Amino acid sequence: MMKRTLSMLFTLGLAIVMASPALASSAKPGAGITVRPARATWDTGYFQEAIVRKGLEDLGYTVEKPKDLENPIFYKAVTLGDVDYWTNGWFPMHNAQLPKDFAQKAEKIGYVVKSGGLGGYLVSKKAVEKYHIKSLDDFKRPEVRKAFDLNGDGKADLVGCPPGWGCAEVIAHHMKVYHLKKDINVIKASYSASMAQALASYNAGKPILFYTWAPNWTIFKLKPGKDVEWINVPKIMPTKAQASAVSRMTVKDVKGAVSSPVKLGFVVSDIRIVANKAFLAKNPAAKTFFEEFKLPLADIDAQNAKMQDGQKSQADIDRQAGEWIAAHQKEWNKWMADARAAAAK
């Protein structure tokens, strides 16, 4: 009798689910939908892509392998509908790279890290103190140039950005407007390799000068205020792309800066998801998740350091994303519940 009753209850429950598609799909509002993400070419942005992808998969979406795209190519592709989203928008830094019809076809949504995109020049703390370095202008002094000349060409060596990166254009602008081309040699090779070499020089007791941004493994390995310090540009002289955000190029209370405020010379950006509007309209669950998703800057820095230490395969990154979710399960469950509720409306 007991077996028959259990069997009847199971059959009844199955019939209810089959008769009510909404109930069957409420936990997986993305079931049957394939999503086409993109990903930036800098690996410090891979972590948030992996976490967001797992969120969409939890909602039932099938998520393709992300396409690695340069900034302008992504923004064009997302307006055309060739890709659906990425997690690597930096604004206002990327505003100049948006196509004219961006606002009609795509949208900046949520804040992965608000005011998290900090960029500027850092110098080893001991050298700051020894040579009284406050700004890039100090590298015009012969004794400073000599101390930072690692290759013997008579110029201070600066780890910069590879060609094609937005920061490379800003650094080139700085070298020109501050008249530093005769004083500073900008290293434009692979950033990770160049910074690994700079870290080795630092560990060997040599002074180093480098550009970096947050989030990044560099400021996890070389901590501002302890190992290195942010320095000023001589004065704020924005590029054309930076002109509309001059107020975000000087920042107060930056940990490990030589002054407060500090003139960074780079726009402090919000890291945001960017998605195709048609995709968002058809997928309220994804839209709600994008709006609510946030990631502490320190967590990205720590993960980036793991990648630099060798845990950088896609399997490693996916595992790290899963570990982050497990450590923030309560918040994650809320995001998932809110996304499902949005789809049910």
Euclidean distance between CA atoms 251 and 303, whole angstroms: 25
| Per-residue pLDDT tens digits for 31-86 | 999 999 999 988 889 999 999 999 999 999 999 999 999 999 999 999 999 999 99
What is 117-268's CATH topology? Answer: D-Maltodextrin-Binding Protein; domain 2 (3.40.190)
The answer to whether 244 and 92 have CB atoms below 8 angstroms apart is yes
Confidence of residue 2 (pLDDT cuts 50, 70, 90): very low
Sign of the torsion angle spanned by Cα atoms 263, 267, 270, 271: negative
Q: What is the pLDDT of residue 92?
A: 83
Report the candidate in 171, 271, 258 with the shortest Cα–Cα distance to residue 212: 171
Q: Is the pLDDT of residue 200 over 90?
A: yes
Confidence of residue 24 (pLDDT cuts 50, 70, 90): very low
CATH classification for the domain delimited by 31-116+270-344, as one of 2.102.10.10, 3.40.190.10, 3.40.50.970, 3.40.50.10470: 3.40.190.10
Confidence of residue 298 (pLDDT cuts 50, 70, 90): confident
Report the candidate in 129, 133, 125 with the shortest Cα–Cα distance to residue 156: 133
Q: Where are the beta strands (DSSP E) in the chain?
A: 34-35, 38-39, 62-63, 67-68, 85-91, 106-124, 156-159, 184-187, 209-214, 228-231, 250-251, 262-263, 269-276
- Among 14-18, 195-199, 274-278, whose mean pLDDT is lowest? 14-18
Q: What is the pLDDT of residue 14?
A: 43
> Are the folds of 31-116+270-344 and 117-268 the same?
yes
Report the candidate in 273, 333, 269, 292 with the shortest Cα–Cα distance to residue 49: 273
Q: Is the pLDDT of residue 8 over 70?
A: no
- 157 Rama sector, left if φ>0, alpha if ψ -120 to 50, beta otherwise: beta
* Domain definitions of the chain by residue range: 31-116+270-344, 117-268
> What H or E segment, with its residue span, contains residue 171?
helix 166-177
Q: What is the pLDDT of residue 308?
A: 86
| Per-residue pLDDT tens digits for 101-147 | 999 999 999 999 988 788 999 999 999 999 999 999 999 999 999 99
* CB atoms near residue 150 (< 10 Å): 18
Euclidean distance between CA atoms 137 and 183, whole angstroms: 9
